[in-house]
Structure 1
Amino acid sequence: MTDETPSQGAAEIVEAQWRTVLSYGPEVIEQEMVRAAYAEPRLRQLFPGVSHGILLLSRCVGHPHSRDVPVVYPLGEGGYEVTNRAGADEVHGRFATAEEAFAEVAAHLPEGCGPAVLGSVDDL
């Protein structure tokens, strides 16, 4: 959830949300994943959220969020799998490190993907 106010721009909202997600402990999300995503400049411009230990990235800061950015799932046996947001019906690959996995996400961003925008998916 964001503390969105009319005077805030999308970049400020995204930055504040990243600070929140970066502050989460390991009981919420694996910090290696968060740091790896944040290290990718194109991903750092997107709005982050966490659900069930998974980092979700959106091209907009409002609800409903976009669902077109690939997702990284940690694998129980180690490593990471990158799929489309809808689930495992399109697997981009399995990777040994979070850095490799989020590089794959950055390589498969939707066409024309730029910084997150104010509003919802309907405003893209």
Structure 2
Amino acid sequence: MTDDADTRSAEEIVAGEWRFLLDGGHDLIDTETVRAAHARPRLRQLFPLVSHGVLYFSGCTGMPAAHTGGQVHPRGADGRYRVAGPKGVGTLGRTETLYEAFALVAGNLPEECGPAVLGGAGHV
């Protein structure tokens, strides 16, 4: 890690990760999904993570992640998106569009959920 990286704020790190994903820098998720999530201001302040085509969010910039909000899974056999809770537990609902799915995720964030902080889950 460089000195430059050590001085970046959580906000800068979060914004950089969003830019990377919006520019198609991750081959495990499509940019349409990332754009739909990024359209939600409350989600945009969280650190975005990707695993197996699923976008999820952390309240911190490091590892271990502090999972918050829900996850939007790719279209299922019924043609809808499944919105799961944090860490994929439970189902918050099923939606027709990605924008509806991420609205559901944002609407289920805890009230006290604020911008991501530096460090791992122990810092949240």
Q: Give the TM-score band, short-chain normalised.
A: 0.7 to 0.9
The runs of 5 or more residues in structure 2 that have no matched partner are none
Aligned to 1:80: 81
Kindly indicate whether the alpha-carbon contact (under 8 Å) linking 2:20 and 2:26 is maintained by their aligned counterparts in 1.
no
Query: Superposition RMSD on alpha carbons, in Å?
Result: 2.0
Letter in 1 for 2:87: A
Provide Cα deviations, 1:42-76, integer angstroms capped at 9, x if missing partner: 10011112111111211100110112321111123
TM, length-normalised to structure 2:
0.88
Kindly indicate whether the alpha-carbon contact (under 8 Å) linking 1:60 and 1:120 is maintained by their aligned counterparts in 2.
yes
Segment of structure 1 superposing worse, 62-71 or 36-45: 62-71
**Partners in 1 of 2:118 and 2:26 — Cα distance?**
30
**Partners in 2 of 1:25 and 1:11 — Cα distance?**
19
Runs of 4+ residues over 3 Å off in structure 1: none
Name the structure with the higher helix share.
2
**Partners in 2 of 1:112 and 1:93 — Cα distance?**
22
**Partners in 1 of 2:68 and 2:15 — Cα distance?**
20
The runs of 5 or more residues in structure 1 that have no matched partner are none
TM, length-normalised to structure 1:
0.88
**Amino-acid identity (%):** 48
Kindly indicate whether the alpha-carbon contact (under 8 Å) linking 1:55 and 1:72 is maintained by their aligned counterparts in 2.
yes
Aligned to 1:116: 116
Aligned to 2:29: 29
Segment of structure 1 superposing worse, 28-37 or 8-17: 28-37
**Partners in 2 of 1:7 and 1:61 — Cα distance?**
13
